[in-house]
A and B are shown apart, each in its own frame.
Chain A
Amino acid sequence: MYEQMLTIRSFEEKAIELFEHNVIRGNIHPCIGQEAVSVGVCSNLRKDDYMVNNHRGHGNCIAKGADLKFMMAELLGRSTGYCKGKGGSMHIADFEGGNLGANGIVGGGLPIAVGAGISIQNRDTDQVVACFFGDGATNQGTFHESLNLAALWRLPVIFVCENNLYALSTPVREAISVPRISDRATAYGIPGVNIDGNDLIEVYTKMKEAVDRARAGEGPTLLDCVTYRFFGHFTGDPGRGITYRTKEEMDQWLNRCPIKRFKEQLIKEKMMTEEMEKTIETNVRVSIEEAVQFAEKSPLPSPEEATQDLFY
């Protein structure tokens, strides 16, 4: 799990670097600072469980088991990417790995997760769906429609709110009428759990309870994972979001870095030696480099491919 968190962070750092060198187009929404949510949630998922992702979703893809090579190739717009260069950063999908794709529309994925839940119920399997979205999405109509329907039909969906306290520049406290996002679960008669999203073990444990409930046919749970993105909303956000966040607040959250916290815990409890740590760091560095090399060596799509893949 430590290695996964480190991988996510290094992948994002590399992606930002490549974006700054104009190798990656459009925009990327880095999830640096939110790694514990990705890993804590997805460590509870089997390969055949589903995940519905959002625009800040690289970490969730990695935690769900995506191949870094195909991810990086997608970011670089290559034919070998997960979506053959047609999706890019915001739309990485890997159906074989249970990743039903990410959404550039805030709140757009929630109904899709409900549908995957219906599918599981109708096929009578014990799979579950993890649906990631941000705090901003909880103000969309689809949040209400989806939680209501999932609760009504007791669908095996875990609604994971990556509550990083800002919807682009709008603070949660100015956008939500109740103190906590988890309070909103009351309206649907489902458990709403407020979680320190920077504490890997807490995320993992609370997600486990939610998954157990879902697999047992007891219906959905809303997890409110409070976390923070160290970078801004996207790579174009001035000063990593300094226009709407204070330096003090940002520093305070940097001190609560989920990777640092977990590492200290591992060392304190003698579960990781310095040597192990070095090995992990090397492994991560190598795998990121390999991914970049794979992507850079991969062919760009030919213009004819633009009209392919619309219909089956």
Chain B
Amino acid sequence: MPEITFVESLRMTLKEETQRDPSLMLIGEDIGRYGGIFGVTKGLLEEFGPHRVRSTPISESAIIGSALGAAMTGIRTVAEIMYIDFTTCAMDQIVNQVAKMRYMSGGKAKIPLVIRTQGGGGRGNAAQHSQSLEALFYHIPGLKIVMPSTPHDARGLLKTAIQDDNPVMFIEHKLLYATKGFVPNEEYLIPFGQADIKRKGKDVTVIAISYMVTKALKAAGRLAGENIEAEVIDLRTLVPLDLETILQSIRKTNRAVIVHEGCRRGGIGAEISSQIQEEAFDYLDAPIQRVGALSVPIPYSEPLENAVIPGEEDIIIAVKKLLYRT
């Protein structure tokens, strides 16, 4: 089992799926000769040709809308929006068209469509290239939402996303692209709605997504030095949400903190927290904590960006607060 980067894992998977389904099409900005700005689609144009790897002008609405039109008429499609910030240019197509088409038609439309996009901060890309917008899409019925945190999960989840006959938002994190992990060559699919316990623990449940899983694991390592055993749950998919794994853990730890990079205000943590208290109120020994970004745009300068985006330290503080050890 070789160790490869997140980008290599995505590329390998896209290549395999494009080979498997002779109709599958990739569409997005600069995904052809250039291979995508993160190199994910490198070499695919050369292998599959310009009809199956369609590099587009800067037209986000047309990318999403045409991906939808193609998907509805029998072409399994993976569309790429270079930065999740740019999905806002295509919001009508995503929210009013893609998400609603099947329902609005009384269940007649079949939409095998993946919207691959990339978000998150930490690299000084400033306010319009660093956002975490999963909560926006979470609010819209009709979209599945996937946020992998490792090269291994990225491969299994992307396969499932592509083979799914529904619209899937597949949200990658820019800081994960260069990370390495062991990825089996053989085929495996990771079902949606199946969270992964990335670290076992008995004292507190840390629920995280995407790059925050990495930070949560580092925080958990440091907490172990203080005899605090944190269980780290990687949700992997937000829609569907694996509430059962969360609840099982909380029944054991009686404490929960939810960590995400999107704004704490109106973030996914608020929703998960609400679901936990509805289902496991009696098991909680302390109020659920939420760790998320401050309610400001992501600033450019490093100390400012670090102040806005949650870090290991913020997770540690939240855990200690839960244990009344501050």
Q: Is the CB of B69 within 8 A of A111?
A: yes
In the assembled complex, the Cα of A152 lies from the Cα of B64 at a distance in Å of 17
Q: In angstroms, how far is the closest chain B Cβ from the Cβ of A199?
A: 30
Closest residue of chain B to A131 (Cβ to Cβ) is B69
Q: Is the CB of A123 within 8 A of B65?
A: no
Q: Is the CB of B23 within 8 A of A101?
A: no
The reply to whether the CB of B110 lies closer than 8 angstroms to some CB of chain A is: yes
Across chains A and B, which 6 residue pairs bring their CB atoms closest together, nearest first? A115-B69, A111-B65, A309-B107, A84-B106, A115-B66, A83-B106
Contact with B along A267-282 (1 / 0, CB 8 A): 0000000000000000
In the assembled complex, the Cα of A204 lies from the Cα of B33 at a distance in Å of 42
Q: Is the CB of B69 within 8 A of A118?
A: yes
Chain A binder among B51-59, B212-220, B228-236, B253-261: B51-59
The reply to whether the CB of A148 lies closer than 8 angstroms to some CB of chain B is: yes
Contact with A along B294-325 (1 / 0, CB 8 A): 00000000000000000000000000000000
Which residues of B in the span 195-235 have a Cβ within 8 Å of any Cβ on A?
A: none
Residues of B within 8 A of A (CB): 23, 25, 27, 51-52, 54, 56-57, 59, 61-62, 64-75, 92-93, 96-97, 101-111, 141-142, 144, 164-166
In the assembled complex, the Cα of A91 lies from the Cα of B64 at a distance in Å of 19
Q: Is the CB of B67 within 8 A of A115?
A: yes
Q: Using A101-B104, A101-B105, A309-B107 as known contacts, list a sample of 5 further A-B pairs with CB atoms less than 8 Å apart, ordered by residue number in A.
A: A50-B73, A108-B93, A115-B71, A120-B73, A148-B59
Q: In angstroms, how far is the closest chain B Cβ from the Cβ of A221?
A: 18
In the assembled complex, the Cα of A84 lies from the Cα of B108 at a distance in Å of 10
Q: In angstroms, how far is the closest chain A Cβ from the Cβ of B58?
A: 9
A311 interface neighbour in B56, B65, B102, Cβ under 8 Å:
B102
In the assembled complex, the Cα of A116 lies from the Cα of B57 at a distance in Å of 18
Residues of A within 8 A of B (CB): 50, 52, 81-87, 91, 93, 95, 100-101, 103-105, 108, 110-123, 141-142, 145-146, 148-149, 152-153, 308-312
Q: In angstroms, how far is the closest chain B Cβ from the Cβ of A10?
A: 25
Closest residue of chain A to B167 (Cβ to Cβ) is A311
Q: Is the CB of B106 within 8 A of A108?
A: no
Q: Is the CB of A119 within 8 A of B166?
A: no
Q: Is the CB of B102 within 8 A of A142?
A: no
Closest residue of chain B to A98 (Cβ to Cβ) is B73
A122 interface neighbour in B62, B70, B93, B144, Cβ under 8 Å:
B70
Q: Is the CB of A82 within 8 A of B106?
A: yes
Tell me the dominant secondary structure on chain B's binding face: mixed
In the assembled complex, the Cα of A4 lies from the Cα of B103 at a distance in Å of 30
B109 interface neighbour in A101, A103, A104, Cβ under 8 Å:
A101
In the assembled complex, the Cα of A308 lies from the Cα of B54 at a distance in Å of 34
Q: Is the CB of B62 within 8 A of A111?
A: yes
Q: Is the CB of A149 within 8 A of B66?
A: yes
In the assembled complex, the Cα of A287 lies from the Cα of B183 at a distance in Å of 62
B65 interface neighbour in A82, A112, A120, Cβ under 8 Å:
A112
A residues within 8 A CB of B57? 145, 148-149, 152
- The answer to whether residues A142 and B106 also contact, given A105-B96, A112-B72, A119-B75 and a CB cut-off of 8 A, is no
A residues within 8 A CB of B107? 84, 308-309, 312
Q: Is the CB of B69 within 8 A of A123?
A: no
Closest residue of chain A to B59 (Cβ to Cβ) is A145
Q: In angstroms, how far is the closest chain B Cβ from the Cβ of A109?
A: 8
A110 interface neighbour in B51, B65, B71, B103, Cβ under 8 Å:
B65
B73 interface neighbour in A83, A104, A108, A115, Cβ under 8 Å:
A115
B residues within 8 A CB of A83? 104-106, 108
In the assembled complex, the Cα of A95 lies from the Cα of B256 at a distance in Å of 47
Q: Is the CB of B66 within 8 A of A86?
A: no
